[in-house]
Amino acid sequence: MTQQTEKIYEHALEVLKENDQGSYTIPTKGLYPFQWNWDSCLTALGQFHYDEARAWTEIETLFANQWPDGMVPHIVFHVYSDGYFPGPNVWDTGRPTPTSGITQPPVAGFAIKRLYDRATDKAEAAKRARALLPRIDAWHRWFYDMRDPGHEGLVAILHPWESGRDNSIDWDEAFERVPTDGVEPYVRRDTQHADPAHRPTKAQYDRYLYLVQLFRSLGWDNARLHDASPFKVVDPGFNAILIRSATDLAALADELGEPEIAARNRARAEAGLAALETLWSEPHGQYLCRDRVTGQLIDSASIGGILPVFAAVPKARAEAIARTIEIWAAEVKYIVPSHDPADPRFEPKRYWRAPAWLVMNYMIQDGLRSVGETATADHIVSSSLELITRSGFAEYYDPTTGEPCGGGRFTWTAAMVIEFLEAA
Ligand code: DGY
């Protein structure tokens, strides 16, 4: 490491440690004062490099709050804070430790395989992984039971927050159908911590809240939510994460002597990969979302359709996606923008409508590397490190200027930087 990268590494450690609450890590102070699901799983990868045991604890704390039906909620409200909206009273899920009532991209299977593979104390890692295997398997089962009732092999998200890409252009059309009547009055907190121009709009928040209220009125009964929801979208990126986690969980289960868990997850991944092909768009050079209400593909070229390289998609698909990324790269200064820069709806500073995110970069470059697309993978890593050097550990970045956006001193950004530097 050069002196400069050593400084960046030290800074990343500082960010991780200052957001560490002991058994879980908050994404950043102020804006996100609780535990978020996929943030924690990806954060554990960075934590591993300074404290292996602490990394496992991060994921164990999340799974200690798994619902009896198998769902792992997107937020765990470990402490009281009125700095975030919507808080536990709005969700009203009745969990012993309050949680939200929806889920998030299931990256845990991938994360624990990576922790296990790298472990220096294999016996300890095997013990901790073995305890998580059935829990992650149950979460995967939950997805196919509750979010794929028609057995398509692909699961739907019922709320944009589940995708993690809250205000992506991908949801615009389907979101129009979500009504806003009966939404209770509310005061947003996010816009008190971050520039409102970087955040979702009020019209989007009204619809986010409508869906929360609807699901709450159904008692958070997951057996009813899928059919009742006016918003049901099959996101290729979300499914790719689930497929990758199922593949990794299967491999780990085999290694740890759990052949039934392995077989179930291998079957899920195979069915998912076959079904993913129905989302491929040759003209876009990437996968697209499908609106499960209309049955139509959504004409929106976003990072959600690039992310499938994280799963073992056919090599020709990965090559086409690498080309698409390079076409986008010619239009912006830093990659990977979360939306096609040629689309007039591209908004460089607004959350998931264009900005670049280091967690996405991490997963995309990982997938590209595994199929030998190293030039684009290296391009993504160098762009990521340039962003950090220019703008610090932001939540996300304007890909046209590199300007930091959203929250600052962001945990998973720091964790990804540690991962990039450790691999260098
Ligand atoms: C938020 O509050 O912005 C989150 O992304 C929802 O999980």
Mean pLDDT over 17-22 rounds to 98
Q: Which residues pair with 76 in a beta bridge?
A: 35, 99
Mean pLDDT over 242-247 rounds to 98
Instruction: Report the length, in residues, of the chain.
Output: 424
Check residue 194 and give its pLDDT. Answer: 96
Query: Measuring CA to CA, how many Å separate 184 from each of 33, 200, 229?
Result: 23, 18, 18
pTM of this structure: 0.98
- Which residues are catalytic, by number? 166, 395
Mean pLDDT over 188-194 rounds to 97
**Close Cβ partners of 60 (under 8 Å, ≥ 6 residues apart):** 23, 128, 131, 132
Does 235 sit in the ligand 1 pocket, CB within 6 Å? no
Query: Which residue shows structure tokens 């969700």?
Result: 91
Check residue 1 and give its pLDDT. Answer: 86
3-state class (DSSP) for residue 270: helix
Check residue 372 and give its pLDDT. Answer: 96
Check residue 351 and give its pLDDT. Answer: 98
Predicted confidence (pLDDT) per residue in 279-305, tens digit: 999 999 999 999 999 999 999 999 999
- Side chain identity, residue 86: P
Looking only at the bridges linking them, the beta strands covering 290-291 and 286-287 are unpaired
Does 148 sit in the ligand 1 pocket, CB within 6 Å? no
To test the pocket of ligand 1, the residue of 32, 100, 204, 350 to mutate (highest count of ligand atoms within 8 Å of its CB) is 32
Query: Measuring CA to CA, how many Å separate 336 from each of 183, 232, 392?
Result: 35, 26, 17
Strands (E), 83-234: 233-234
CA of 176 to the centre of ligand 1 (A): 19
Mean pLDDT over 357-385 rounds to 98
